[in-house]
A and B are shown apart, each in its own frame.
Chain A
């Protein structure tokens, strides 16, 4: 068994052959954070006394210290056969919304620990990240975790893992992040099995940015993996995608607290601070070089983040609009993928059309806006980006149903995804039914074992952004997992359905749907609104229309009586208080033409949760 390293290798003076860069790929709750904690402890970088559970979890640290120190990469010393190595453990986001970020983190590594819960087996999300890892030529170390659990089935899942990556079941390591069993052996294997990084030491510096975080005190902290050459403090560096230059105020490694160093050499992983205040000036995937002696070519692989899903965000209280703008501005400092522009809605007032990488990104952003900035928000139904060709043969990009061109439409292009669904085989039928109902095309199906099957579908993105995952879960009693990635586009028969209240279009409820589903959307929405909008003194027709053609209609009958018939002496205060309450409730009404619509009606009509409860 390896002892704790007696001395650590010094950053900027570590031979690449003594460096190992790896990440851990795991499904949520399979124990990545716990294992990482155990590694920090085993290598002695965090003493047992200082050890708090989930040391590296950014959110925890944020909560505790109120600042953002994201320890995306930790440098740990480890000794094997009397030689001390430097291990860099690089964190990867685990969700498909962040596929691009994942791919950049993986590109900073030579190997990956594939961590799978020995009581659960592999999940779709893990498959996706594994695929990305294999694609970036990483060496994979398969590991089963939680072997201390009484219901662990290490043999069964070792078999499954071995099948999947083509190794011997006996090569699958078995650990418990909880008890520490097998963790030191795993560290040894990381050194033995993974190749050291290679690069040209005397070439112009090239380092790849794999993460970039905004810190209130230090500005943007950029995490890099050096490929060639050396970066040193006080040098001027250049971002190769934009050509902008900055002074390196500080450079160092996380161990796991930031420790400044004399520089970072070939194969090393660490952080840079240049004093910039906005993560968009230090973009994930970009190449950093020395501005006096710049590299001729970047490392490649840089892409601008591309929002996939758009939603309108509106403050519940119109006076919060400036606060919402400030909050989005602040979030954007730390989230290069967040894009937004002001929009106005007849129904909801002033707000923003916000682009997200996916639904999770949307949810996280919304939650942060509400929790960290104390905002009450209404968000419109999320929609994807369409390319619409009108009669003029011009393609218009539509990120909001209101941008859908009027008049004759020649073609509408919608984005597609390729989705991987893992489910117990007994649910094949009901998963297929769901995917067919969502205009999916089956691309292939494999049995991972007798009971578990992997199904691959091409689906329109629009069909999965809303409530697909919830339906998938409920049809499989929670057992299915889903992963997807963008995969081109197709021409489809899509139309815009408008909802009209008393003849007035309510923009917040317009939707772009497949023609076959327009009617059911119309019936659903008009029906919902009939329930949600209180009766008015006149009849209120509610219609769903494609262009000028009405496809569904409902009406809210006029209210004929609201007066309290009897009003004796003792009733006076009671009745006044009733009216005062109505008066207080009045602020939450929005006018659509002459129709008073309670704020709650908008929220309820726009939320999918309501539907599920029924």
Chain B
């Protein structure tokens, strides 16, 4: 079983971001950063009670992920205390993976050391780009020059390191992107995530594009940049294990995210966090003050839930498993899906050898057209 802890705070909101996160100004008076660690720890204790009553067998925690927002806006001691609560309530399995996201300008060598000492094993830095004008469009406030430094510190204190990149930002040239990929590789992280920029509704960037102040993004440009990155990562010894994730050698894949994609169980704590346990999906109230009110009042912060039926589960499994380098067993497909396999090979969307061996594994072209592959496998 896994744990996700959402930390809904940022110093500023980046123009492209629609994550459930709040600046001090947006937060209002109903919630506070200072008491947040204590509040979310209460949910963890509540989770333990719920799990005990659920009749499901008790399982130790194999992975923990602190995401945001910017978890590292909280003092390292707060994050460590929350992790300690997870350990005391559920027990961390030996060798558990514990990750936090971090903005490059929100950590010091000391805070990283403190995290490491408190049980964290991994840090994921939001680098996004190495090119100043790209970072400017994204409204990132960190100084790109600081990134190699924080990556080095993290490695020195013994944390595994990942960096997040975004490609296809308006105004980013292919050369800009090559520069960012080269920079990321030069910091020698263990893991890289590279995401095509999504223009999320309601963001400032979406409005700028709508008004024509910023050019729109383009799928063909995304495809080209994906290919470039995939080839550069491969040449540097990184292996793709999920559509947007590459790990150096064995053992550096993010086990937490892999658990999501393989249909694992996790409890998500914090405002707006999603959970998936025993086939049920639910999500918490979104705003931190509503969340805090629920917790303070001893009421479950759950806000909505769904129990996907067999058809929906099949769709989810197909769409998630095919994203993975480990692939989807052909045995899980129904007759329609099996009949589609030959066509997918012919269209160079899946790897022939893997298919012969009984698994659907996407080619590079197939990774870019993963939705198409899913539709073919599910016959729609």
A and B: partners? yes
Which A residues are closer than 8 A to B by beta carbons? 537-538, 557, 559-570, 572-573, 575-576, 579-580, 582-583, 586
> Does B226 count as interface, using CB distance less than 8 angstroms?
yes
Which of A538, A576, A586 has a CB less than 8 Å from the CB of B308? A576
- Please measure, in the bound complex, the distance between the C-alpha atom of A569 and the C-alpha atom of B5, giving whole angstroms: 12
Q: How large is the interface on B (under 10, 10 to 19, 20 to 34, 35 or more residues)?
A: 35 or more
Q: Which B residues are CB-close (under 8 A) to A563? A: 243, 323, 367-371
A577's nearest neighbour on chain B, judged by CB, is B312
List the B side residues contacting A582 at CB < 8 Å. 371, 375, 380
Residues on the A chain within 8 Å of B319, using CB: 575-576, 579
A112 to chain B, nearest CB (A): 62
Residues in A neighbouring B224, C-beta threshold 8 A: 560
B366 nearest CB neighbor, chain A only: A563
Do residues A561 and B219 form an inter-chain contact, with CB atoms below 8 A? yes
Given contacts A559-B369, A561-B368, A563-B367, contact A583 B274 (CB under 8 A): no
Docked Cα-Cα span, A400 to B158, in Å, equals: 77
B66: Cβ under 8 A from any A Cβ: no
Contact B243 A565 (CB under 8 A): yes
Complex interface: chain B residues within 8 A of A570 (CB) = 268, 272-274, 283
Task: Check A579–B276 contact: CB distance below 8 A.
Answer: no
Closest to A570 in B: B274
Do the beta carbons of B260 and A572 come within 8 Å of each other? Answer: yes
Provide the B190-202 mask, 1 if CB < 8 A to any CB of A, else 0. Answer: 0000111010000
B266 at interface by CB-CB < 8 Å: yes
Query: Nearest B residue to A566 by beta-carbon distance?
Result: B195
Residues in B neighbouring A562, C-beta threshold 8 A: 219, 368-372
Cross-chain contact A537 with B223 (CB below 8 angstroms)? no
> Complex Cα distance A586/B372, Å?
12
Contacts of A567 in B (CB 8 A): 243-244, 260-261, 320, 323
Docked Cα-Cα span, A565 to B166, in Å, equals: 10
Contacting residues, chain B, for A568 (C-beta < 8 A): 67, 257, 260
Bound together, the chains give a CA A568 to CA B273 distance in angstroms of: 11
A322 to nearest B CB, angstroms?
A: 26
Option from A560, A573, A576 in Cβ contact (under 8 Å) with B223: A560
State how many angstroms separate the Cβ of A485 from the closest Cβ of chain B: 52
**In the bound complex, CA of A586 to CA of B196 (Å):** 26
- Which of B53-103 touch A at CB < 8 Å? 67
Chain A CB within 8 A of B114 CB: no
Contacts of B222 in A (CB 8 A): 560-561, 565
Q: Residues of B with Cβ closer than 8 Å to A?
A: 4, 67, 194-196, 198, 219-220, 222-224, 226, 243-244, 257, 260-261, 266, 268, 272-274, 276, 281, 283, 306, 308, 312, 315-316, 319-320, 323, 347, 349, 367-372, 374-375, 378, 380
Q: How far is the CA of A561 from the CA of B366 in the complex (A)?
A: 9
CA distance in complex: A568, B124 (Å):
14
Q: Are B315 and A576 touching (Cβ within 8 A)? A: yes
Partner of B316, one of A538, A560, A572, A586: A572
Q: Which residues of A contact B368 (CB under 8 A)?
A: 560-563
Enumerate chain B residues within 8 angstroms of A557, measured Cβ to Cβ.
220
7 contacts between A and B (CB under 8 A): A537-B372, A564-B198, A567-B320, A569-B260, A573-B281, A579-B375, A582-B380
User: Which single member of B195, B226, B243, B369 contacts A537 (CB below 8 Å)?
Assistant: B369
Closest to B276 in A: A569
A364, B334: Cα distance in complex, Å: 48
Residue of A538, A561, A570, A573 most packed against chain B (CB within 10 A): A561
Output the nearest chain B residue to A587 by Cβ-Cβ distance: B380
Task: State whether A572 touches B272 (Cβ < 8 A).
Answer: no
Give me 13 other A-B pairs in contact (C-beta within 8 A), A567-B260, A573-B274 excluded.
A538-B347, A560-B219, A561-B196, A561-B226, A565-B195, A567-B261, A567-B320, A567-B323, A569-B266, A569-B268, A572-B320, A576-B312, A579-B319
Chain B residue at minimal CB-CB distance from A574: B274
* Shortest Cβ distance from residue B372 to the other chain A in the assembled complex, whole angstroms: 6
Contacts of B369 in A (CB 8 A): 537, 559-563
Contacts of B367 in A (CB 8 A): 563
Q: How far is the CA of A415 from the CA of B260 in the complex (A)?
A: 69
Distance (Å) between the CB of B12 and the closest chain A CB? 21
Q: How far is the CB of A559 from chain B (nearest CB, A)?
A: 7
CB-CB under 8 A from A537, the residues of chain B are: 347, 349, 369, 372
Q: Which residues of A contact B4 (CB under 8 A)?
A: 569
Interface centre among A570, A573, A576, A582 (most CB of B within 10 A): A570
Distance A579 CA – B224 CA, assembled complex (angstroms): 24
Q: How long is the Cα–Cα vector from A199 to B185 in the complex, in angstroms? A: 106
Question: Which residues of B sit under 8 angstroms from A586, Cβ to Cβ?
Answer: 375, 380
The CA of A575 and the CA of B371, in the complex, are separated in Å by 10
Q: Are B223 and A561 in contact (CB under 8 A)?
A: yes
Nearest CB in chain A to that of B263: its residue: A572
Asked if A579 contacts B198 (CB within 8 A), the reply is no
The interface residues of chain B lying within 8 Å CB-to-CB of A575 are 319
Contacts of B223 in A (CB 8 A): 560-561
Contact status of A579 and B374, CB under 8 A, knowing A561-B219, A561-B369, A569-B4: yes
Residues of chain A lying within 8 A (CB to CB) of residue B283: 570
In the bound complex, residues from chain A placing their C-beta under 8 Å from that of B272 are 570
Q: Chain A residues near B276: list those with CB within 8 A.
A: 569, 572
Residues of chain B contacted by A569 (CB below 8 angstroms): 4, 260, 266, 268, 274, 276
Shortest beta-carbon distance from A367 to chain B in Å: 33
Tell me, rounded to whole Å, the shortest Cβ–Cβ distance linking A370 to chain B.
28
A572 to B370, CA, bound (A): 15
**Bound-state Cα–Cα, A579 to B371, Å:** 8
Say how far B224's CB is from chain A's closest CB, in angstroms: 8
Query: Nearest Cβ distance between residue B20 and chain A, in whole angstroms?
Result: 8
Measured in the bound complex, the distance between the Cα atoms of B222 and A573 in whole Å is 24
- Which residues of the partner chain A approach B260 to less than 8 Å between Cβ atoms? 567-569, 572
Residues of A contacting B347 with CB < 8 Å? 537-538
Q: Which of A538, A566, A572 meets B244, CB within 8 Å? A: A566
**Which of the listed residues A562, A575, A582 has the most CB atoms from chain B within 10 Å of its own CB?**
A562
List residues of chain A with CB within 8 A of the CB of B281. 572-573
Q: Are B273 and A565 in contact (CB under 8 A)?
A: no
* Across-interface contacts of A572 in B (CB, < 8 A): 260, 274, 276, 281, 316, 320
CB-based closest 4 A-B pairs: A560-B223, A563-B370, A565-B196, A570-B274
Complexed CA–CA distance, A567 and B324 (Å) = 12
Question: Once the chains are docked, how many angstroms separate the CA of A576 from the CA of B260?
Answer: 14
CB A424 to nearest CB in B, in angstroms, measures: 43
Contact A580 B372, CB 8 Å, known A560-B220, A560-B223, A565-B244: no
Q: How far is the CB of A92 from chain B (nearest CB, A)?
A: 54
Minimal Cβ-Cβ distance residue in B for A584:
B380
Give the residues in chain A near B320, CB-CB below 8 Å.
567, 572
Contact of B306 with A573 in the complex, beta carbons under 8 Å: yes
In angstroms, Cα B224 to Cα A562, docked, is: 13
A586 to B379, CA, bound (A): 10
CB distance from B60 to the nearest CB of A (A): 19
